[in-house]
Amino acid sequence: MNSIRPFRNIKRRLSREISVGKVRVGGENPISVQSMTNTLTTDINKTINQVNALHDAGADIVRVSCPDEESTLSLKKIIKNVEVPIIADIHFHYQRAIEAAKAGASCLRINPGNIGSKERVSEVVKAAKDYNCSIRIGVNGGSLEREILEKYKEPCPEALVESAKKNIALLEQNNFNNFKISVKASDIFLAIGSYRLLAKECDYPLHLGITEAGGLFSGTVKSSIGLGLLLLEGIGDTIRVSLSADPLEEVKAGLEILKSLGLKKRGVNIISCPSCARQAFEVIKTVEVLEKRLSHIKEPITLSIIGCVVNGPGEAAQTDIGLTGGGKGNNMIYLSGLQNHKVPNSSIIDHVVSLVEKKAEEIRQEQNASNK
């Protein structure tokens, strides 16, 4: 908790802890970022490459679709060649869930109610227990049970939560508690209302998402509003930004949401102005290039890029490295909030990159020293 700036404090809902492979979810553990592959799972090499790319971008957990036996058979080789925990996405066939657990999946994404009889649910739970596999109950506003839709006439928070509680009961009846829950919807109001209600009804970890949010721009905006509001209220233990875009963009967006709320510290957090006639250098182009040149940095570093002295010094005082535009190309560099030296327009990008990389190396050395 931040005693100096209490307005930044987020009191997280205290949920149970579960394991998704080596990742601890719930309790006071960091909120994890998830994405999903869009390759054919049977194309093993492509799937491995995409999973590793997502992990390198910052994904803590990756979900892989398993619609058929050939896909679950492919899981074993995929899991052996990746470091991140894998969730097997199962919809209807209970055998796929059992096969995925045997193949080494860290988690099964299922709706127990879709699996079939209580005997089949028990078989899936037994496999999860035998192979140390967690489960995610995935309720979705677009695929509610017929009897629940008939009762409520349309998807609503009460309907999604009733579906979740029904599925929770199926797992609890089998003495299984190593699971998390999601109640996703494409409508922001429905999703927020459902998660708020569910958060009051149980203490299991919650996986947040605005499902089918849309394309890169509109989907990121929708997800930022929906997930941001819930996270500010302390609700949520894992997140996925669901976009009709490259899955890498989901990870980037998820990380930025968490970084903006102080819930994740990873990579360079750039504070930059929108630019105006006062700018002493081309702010927009500079930031665009810096985002690409600094994308490899994983250490948490704050960087302010401000085109003039109106807000520049104030922003620089709050960041690790700051750049403020000055007259006649005499731009000021700030280090740890203090004026340090000047840099001409022609050298801004290379110079800032070198300063950030130097800072990242210092952080790595400090971390290595503390780990000895």
The DSSP element (H or E) to which 161 belongs, if any, is: helix 157-172
Crossing angle of helices 44-57 and 69-80, in 10° steps, is 50
> Rg (Cα) of the chain, in Å, rounded?
23
358 token code pair: 């130097």
CB–CB of 325/333 below 8 Å? no
Question: Positive or negative, the Cα torsion across 40, 43, 45, 46?
Answer: negative
First and final C-alpha spacing in the chain: 27
Residue type, 316: A
307 token code pair: 């085109």
249 token code pair: 């963009």
Using the predicted structure, report yes or no on whether residue 114 has a pLDDT greater than 80.
no
HSE (side-chain half, CA atoms, 13 Å) at 68: 4
Strand, helix or coil for residue 180: strand
Strands in 338-343's sheet, in edge-to-edge order, are 268-272, 301-306, 321-324, 331-335, 338-343
pLDDT of residue 1: 64
Predicted confidence (pLDDT) per residue in 28-64, tens digit: 999 999 999 999 999 999 999 999 999 999 999 999 9
Average pLDDT over residues 74-92: 95
Question: Positive or negative, the Cα torsion across 183, 187, 190, 195?
Answer: positive
Average pLDDT over residues 72-89: 96
Average pLDDT over residues 303-318: 94
Using the predicted structure, report yes or no on whether residue 117 has a pLDDT greater than 70.
yes
4-13, 111-120, 198-207, 316-325, range with the lowest pLDDT:
111-120
Predicted confidence (pLDDT) per residue in 208-264, tens digit: 999 999 999 999 999 999 999 999 999 999 999 999 999 999 999 999 999 999 999
Average pLDDT over residues 176-187: 96
User: What is the pLDDT confidence band of residue 158, given thresholds at 50, 70 and 90?
Assistant: very high
pLDDT of residue 328: 81
Domains and CATH numbers, the chain: 15-260 (3.20.20.20), 268-371 (3.30.413.10)
The DSSP element (H or E) to which 135 belongs, if any, is: strand 134-140
pLDDT of residue 329: 78
HSE (side-chain half, CA atoms, 13 Å) at 220: 16
User: What is the pLDDT confidence band of residue 91, given thresholds at 50, 70 and 90?
Assistant: confident
User: What is the pLDDT confidence band of residue 116, given thresholds at 50, 70 and 90?
Assistant: confident
Strand, helix or coil for residue 203: coil
Angstrom CA distances, 133 to 194, 215, 312, stand at 26, 32, 50
110 token code pair: 């299922």
What's the whole-model pTM score? 0.91
